[in-house]
């Protein structure tokens, strides 16, 4: 079960998430941090940028790795690469995020190479995770095995529907993702969720049966998960 669950009002969500991340990062001299995209961590990255600019947070020792990417079009404004350019790169002192090459000719080989690069860094120390409406972690969709590793995946319809809000007609059908094995091998996990739409899946992930039907439910078996929720996401 998670070590702790913090539930905060919506306006304090980003700061509480950031405080959680900074507390975890202090445990490591050079933390290897897996970073999610999506709406959930936007405020966290913004607050981290403000603190770093004021000299109150120091990310210079952090080694950031993206946890997933859409296949194709890395320069599209909705790609994770573009997302990190907007939300991560402006953070003072932040190292460039290591990322999948979604245009690689051999995507399976690219996934394996990325996993090797992460392993070369010592693996994740901290996995920062959002949660998909269907319980996915990164792009580990329902049906993903607990021991799945970095690979190319087909996005489920719920994930494509969420992506469509940004990508429109260009919505990718496939993604590259770290597997549940690499994510859950991180000794520290920070799970973030906000908004009423996440209440049902958060409850299922944290209290429901542990099964590949809801990949986030495997977090129940992880020894050190910090969960930060806003009140709406905690309602279930
Ligand atoms: C996306 C990403 C995940 C992210 C999740 C939630 O598709 N693959 O890494 O955590 O879905 O996104 P959001 O924060 O926008 O709800």
Helix or strand run (H / E) with residue 235: none
Q: DSSP per residue over 59-121, as a string?
A: -TT-EEEE-EEESS-TTSTTSHHHHHHHHTTTSTTPPPPB---TT-SSHHHHHHHHHHHHHHT
How many Å apart are CA 65 and CA 68, to the nearest integer?
A: 9
Name the DSSP letter for residue 38.
S
Provide mean pLDDT across the span 148-165.
96
Q: Which pLDDT belongs to residue 56?
A: 96
Question: Ligand 1: distance of its center to the CA of 185 in Å?
Answer: 20
Question: Ligand 1: distance of its center to the CA of 145 in Å?
Answer: 19
Q: What percent of the chain has pLDDT over 90?
A: 98
**Cβ neighbour number for residue 32 with a 10 Å cutoff:** 19
On whether the CB atoms of residues 175 and 104 are closer than 8 A, the answer is: no
Q: How many domains does the chain have?
A: 1
- Residue 3 banded pLDDT, cuts 50, 70, 90: confident
Q: Which pLDDT belongs to residue 160?
A: 96
Catalytic (active-site) positions: 68, 134, 136, 141
pTM: 0.98
At 4-31, the pLDDT tens digits run 999 999 999 999 999 999 999 999 999 9
On whether the CB atoms of residues 190 and 127 are closer than 8 A, the answer is: yes
Q: Which pLDDT belongs to residue 2?
A: 60
Closest CA to 37 of 184, 163, 156, 144: 163
User: Is residue 167 over pLDDT 60?
Assistant: yes
55 CB-near residues (< 8 Å, 6+ apart): none
Provide mean pLDDT across the span 63-67.
98
Report the mean per-residue pLDDT for the chain: 97
Q: Which pLDDT belongs to residue 128?
A: 99
CATH of the domain at 57: 3.40.50.1360
Provide mean pLDDT across the span 86-104.
98
Question: Ligand 1: distance of its center to the CA of 138 in Å?
Answer: 7
At 35-60, the pLDDT tens digits run 999 999 999 999 999 999 999 999 99
Residue 139 beta carbon below 6 angstroms from any ligand 1 atom: yes
Nearest residue (by CA) to ligand 1, atom 11, is: 132
Strands 126-129 and 188-193: parallel
Closest CA to 175 of 71, 65, 102, 80: 71
User: Is residue 74 over pLDDT 60?
Assistant: yes
Residue 195 beta carbon below 6 angstroms from any ligand 1 atom: no
Residues of the domain holding 96: 4-235
User: Is residue 1 over pLDDT 70?
Assistant: no
């Amino acid at each position: 079960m998670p070590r702790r669950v913090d539930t905060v009002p919506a306006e304090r969500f980003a700061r509480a998430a950031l405080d959680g991340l900074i507390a975890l990062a202090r445990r490591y001299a050079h933390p290897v941090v897996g970073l999610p995209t999506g709406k959930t961590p936007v405020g966290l990255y913004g607050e981290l940028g403000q603190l770093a600019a004021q000299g109150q947070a120091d990310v210079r020792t952090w080694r950031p790795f993206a946890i997933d990417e859409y296949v194709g079009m890395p320069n599209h404004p909705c790609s994770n690469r573009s997302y990190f350019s907007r939300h991560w790169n402006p953070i003072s002192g932040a190292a460039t995020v290591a990322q999948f090459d979604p245009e690689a000719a051999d995507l399976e080989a690219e996934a394996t190479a990325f996993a090797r690069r992460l392993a070369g860094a010592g693996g994740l120390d901290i996995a920062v995770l959002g949660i998909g409406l269907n319980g996915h972690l990164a792009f580990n969709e329902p049906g993903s095995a607990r021991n799945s590793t970095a690979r190319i995946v087909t996005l489920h319809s719920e994930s494509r529907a969420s992506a469509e809000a940004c990508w429109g007609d260009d919505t990718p059908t496939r993604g590259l993702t770290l597997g549940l094995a690499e994510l859950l091998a991180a000794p520290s996990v920070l799970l973030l969720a906000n908004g009423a739409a996440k209440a049902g899946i958060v409850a299922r992930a944290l209290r429901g049966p542990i099964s590949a039907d809801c990949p986030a439910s495997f977090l129940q078996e992880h020894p050190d998960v910090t969960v930060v929720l806003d009140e709406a996401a905690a309602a279930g």
